Amino acid sequence: MLSSSFRLQPSAFSLSLGILGSGQLGQMIAMAAKKMGHRVLVYDLLPGGPAASVADEMIVAPFDDEKALRDFASRVDLITLEFENIPAASLELLASLRPLHPSPHVVRICQDRVLEKEFLQKHGFPVAPFRVITSVEELVAAVRELKTDAILKTATLGYDGKGQVSIAANASVAELQQAWAALHAERAVLEKRINFCAEGSVIVARSTSGEISSFPPQENSHARGILDVSRAPARFSEKVLREAEGMGGKIVEALEVVGLLTIEFFLLPNDEIIVNELAPRPHNSGHHTIESSKTSQFEQIVRAATGASLGSTELVKPALMLNLLGDLWKAGEPDWKPFLGHPEISLHLYGKKEAKPGRKMGHVTFTGEHREELLQQAKESFKS
Ligand SMILES: Nc1ncnc2c1ncn2[C@@H]1O[C@H](COP(=O)(O)OP(=O)(O)O)[C@@H](O)[C@H]1O
Ligand SMILES: [Mg+2]
């Protein structure tokens, strides 16, 4: 007797993707992977988290739990990550068991500002003048030598402007002692404060076969050290856009990244570009690609890591992205109704259980010709 349904073998195309980290970046990678027919297993220290709500399964364990890491690897075909602060030994272990994209070598450099800056400098990419600092004596000497306002940044574990202290060119020894103590770091970078006219980022993909493709750069503005708004296209000259993409491609090649690399940069008034930092993964400034681009940054990482051909990075709709931080929840959850009835507004909420000041709870993407007005209206509505 003929059956009215077909029993399918698991698709040859479908893979099991492991994601280290259960935050919003992991969530959006998982959504893209699921759309493409893959299974998703998420690994994080705490249960729940935005990615867990999308993944097929989750492993809850510390990032240095060898048994749990081995179990994770045994249940997936390949692994990627949504944040880079994972112990090097754990990454080495995972990479010995399954393809890990990006590789431990790439993550090791990107998770340490000293190694990152030294790598960039060695390969001739422009960075802000900096000094490596391991003691208050070195800090005092470096401040006197640089003779400029500067920023002291922890070598590891900093994010969203955390782990940074402003240093005045004429800071006293007592002030520098205080700054060093406040940082709670063993190693840090002191870098010149750059008088930039704009900030930007460029997201570049490199696949397992070495194919490289860059998204058009976006323009970013920060508030209190945290990304506030990203604009695509960036309001930069053609020359800057081309240079940023070209530089991105060269950095990705020099690092031999497989996956995505985001290059944050400062733009000087004379159109010079200075590389700020690197992130070996999808980036907050690329969230707009979900609506604005033929291929989102999340689909692109899945394509790059699984060995599929890379998707087109064409920007098909101009877009603005506004981050929604926990501060907006001060008097309860904001009223989202105005964000839901407009064809050029896309609201993304990550489903986090608790809102805290500075915590990224969601974002909104505004597209189309009225996007700047829509952004202003949204910002006004949050003030009231
Ligand atoms: N050397 C600098 N000069 C001027 N502003 C800086 C400098 N370094 C960082 N900033 C500002 O602080 C923000 C966050 O610093 P960043 O180094 O990117 O650290 P994070 O890892 O927190 O993103 C930057 O996007 C920029 O706005
Ligand atoms: Mg940054």
pLDDT at 8 exceeding the cut of 70: no
pLDDT at 179 exceeding the cut of 80: yes
pTM: 0.95
- Residue 233: is the preceding peptide bond cis (ω within 30°)? yes
Percent pLDDT > 90 in the chain is: 92
* Distance separating alpha carbons of residues 86 and 227, to the nearest angstrom: 23
Residue ranges of domains in the chain:
16-100, 129-192, 198-383
Whether ligand 1 lies within 6 angstroms of the CB of 91 is answered as no
* Distance separating alpha carbons of residues 133 and 150, to the nearest angstrom: 13
pLDDT at 198 exceeding the cut of 60: yes
Residue with tokens 């896309």: 346
Q: By C-alpha distance, which of 186, 207, 201, 190 is closest to 252?
A: 207
Whether ligand 1 lies within 6 angstroms of the CB of 227 is answered as no
* Distance separating alpha carbons of residues 196 and 28, to the nearest angstrom: 31
Residue with tokens 């920060």: 222
Which residue among 276, 277, 284, 323 is best mutated to probe the pocket of ligand 1, counting the most ligand atoms within 8 A of its Cβ?
276
Whether ligand 1 lies within 6 angstroms of the CB of 327 is answered as no
Residue 12: what pLDDT?
A: 59
Q: Which CATH number fits domain 129-192: 3.30.365.10, 3.30.1490.20, 3.90.600.10, 3.40.50.12240?
A: 3.30.1490.20
Q: How many CB atoms lie within 10 A of CB 247?
A: 20
What is the pLDDT of the chain when averaged over all its residues?
A: 95
Whether ligand 1 lies within 6 angstroms of the CB of 199 is answered as yes
Measured CA angle at 64 (ends 63, 66), to 5 deg:
115
pLDDT per residue as tens digits for the range 91-141: 999 999 999 999 999 999 999 999 999 999 999 999 999 999 999 999 999
Cα 266 to middle of ligand 1, angstroms: 9
More reliable by pLDDT, 102 or 11:
102
Cα 133 to middle of ligand 2, angstroms: 20
Our measurement of the distance from residue 331's CA atom to the centroid of its chain's CA atoms, rounded to an integer in Å, reads 29
The yes or no reply on domain 16-100 and CATH 3.40.50.300 is no
Q: How many CB atoms lie within 10 A of CB 315?
A: 17
Give burial (CB, 10 Å; 0-12/13-18/19+) of 327. Answer: middle
Q: By C-alpha distance, which of 215, 158, 222, 230 is closest to 189?
A: 158
Residue 1: what pLDDT?
A: 52
For the segment 25-47, the average pLDDT, to the nearest whole number, is 97
Residue 158: what pLDDT?
A: 79
Radius of gyration from C-alpha coordinates of the chain:
22
Structure tokens belonging to residue 113? 């500002």
Cα 79 to middle of ligand 1, angstroms: 29
Residue 3: what pLDDT?
A: 58
pLDDT at 90 exceeding the cut of 80: yes
Give burial (CB, 10 Å; 0-12/13-18/19+) of 195. Answer: exposed
CA neighbours within 13 Å on the CB side: how many for 136? 14
Q: What is the DSSP letter of 312?
A: P
Structure tokens belonging to residue 90? 């754990």
Whether ligand 1 lies within 6 angstroms of the CB of 217 is answered as no
Cα 324 to middle of ligand 2, angstroms: 17
> pLDDT confidence of 260, banded at 50, 70, 90?
very high
Across 347-365, b (16+ Cβ under 10 Å) vs e yields ebebebeebeeebbbbbbb
Helix (H) or strand (E) holding 255: helix 238-255
CA distances from 94 to 38, 65, 206 (A): 20, 11, 20
Q: What CATH class has 198-383?
A: alpha beta
The strand pair at 39-44 and 16-20 is best described as: parallel
